Structure 1
Amino acid sequence: MARFAALLLALVFYSGVSHAQEIRYVSDKQYVPLRSGAGNEYRIIHRGLISGTRLSVSRTSGDGEWTEVTSDAGLTGWIRSQYLMSEMPAQQRLSVATRKIEKSGEESADLSTQLSMLETEREDLVVRLDASENGLEQVRQELHQLKQISGKAVQLDTSNRRLVEEAENLRSEVEMLQAEKQRLTDKLDNEDFMNGTLAVLLGVIIALVAPRLAPKRRKASSW
């Protein structure tokens, strides 16, 4: 479980790192134009790529000021290198982490509902089992009495066997439900652990991201 939590943290913070040289994102709070060439004199293909747009890098101009990129939608053009960053923008990472926590909470609620339904069904089977065992004991007593006063022992013995079989079947169902309840309980405990891990992760991200989200004055762009 500790290894799983560590892997989860690594995925959130370093997603896309293996392709850091090929993938870039438009930096926070930007609407950047995409041009047909490496310079302001080239025509604008797209007037404003929003923050967090995922771009594949093809090449960089000789002076390093411009980068040719392609969006996931297949749009290719040149963008100023200063507006590109190797990691997903902080606000977008925060949104992803928040969605994961919300989804985990929904799954935990579903598991709790299933567990409650199984518990209700198990209790019903226990009641039925008790009733069956009481009926079995009554039949046994009647069989004992009838064996002493009549020749109907075979018929009563058949009834006795049938009730014994029903009682055994009910016991098996109760045991299966108890095993299922334990499985769901263990899964719910794991979900609670994951919720705690994600909550801690969200707190760390907020602590790291909040200072970056404050508005900053930027120099006027030449475009």
Structure 2
Amino acid sequence: MKKIIFAGCLLLTLGQTVTLAHAETTRYISDDLSTWVRSGPGNQYRLVGQVNAGEAVTLLSTNPETHYAQIRDQQGRTTWIPESQLNDNPSFKVRVPQLEQQVKTLSDKLANIDTSWNQRTAEMQQKVAGSDGAINQLKEENQRLKNALIVAQKKVDAANVQLDDKQRAIIMQWFLYGGGVLGIGLLFGLFLPHMIPRRKNKNRWM
């Protein structure tokens, strides 16, 4: 009789072992409670302690008949807990520091971006100011050249007027010289015959 009972217990233990999943994965205790853990996969096993809400534990196996999960907590204890009290996602206890770190990282990046943007804006303003200065200098130089061109044009116009006056004066002088020569020639033509004595015609006297 004792052998039969021992064999049955052995088979039951082996059956439980076969039905357990042995892949070790991380699970998290539900955030809304601190739960008791037991020494075996069922309510009939004694309570051996507690695990804190949000604590990360390692899932060792599950019992599909009792829906209990075998876990190893952060203290190294191997116990059993109802499978419904485990979550796949990290708890708020874990996620809040992560989110805070992400917020800090993003805030630092934003501050760096803001600083970089301000620096670039200042550089662009300096470049624009420099460009405005260069543009103003070019405008002033252009105006100066325009004024110089106007003065030079006036000088050219004045020189052309003087040249025209000189040309007219030269033409008038040539006209005067030509008129004088013509007048002298005309006078010579008029008075020269009277100044030369005429020969008497012998045939006339005879």
Q: Name the TM-score, length of structure 1 as normaliser.
A: 0.37
Q: Name the TM-score, length of structure 2 as normaliser.
A: 0.40
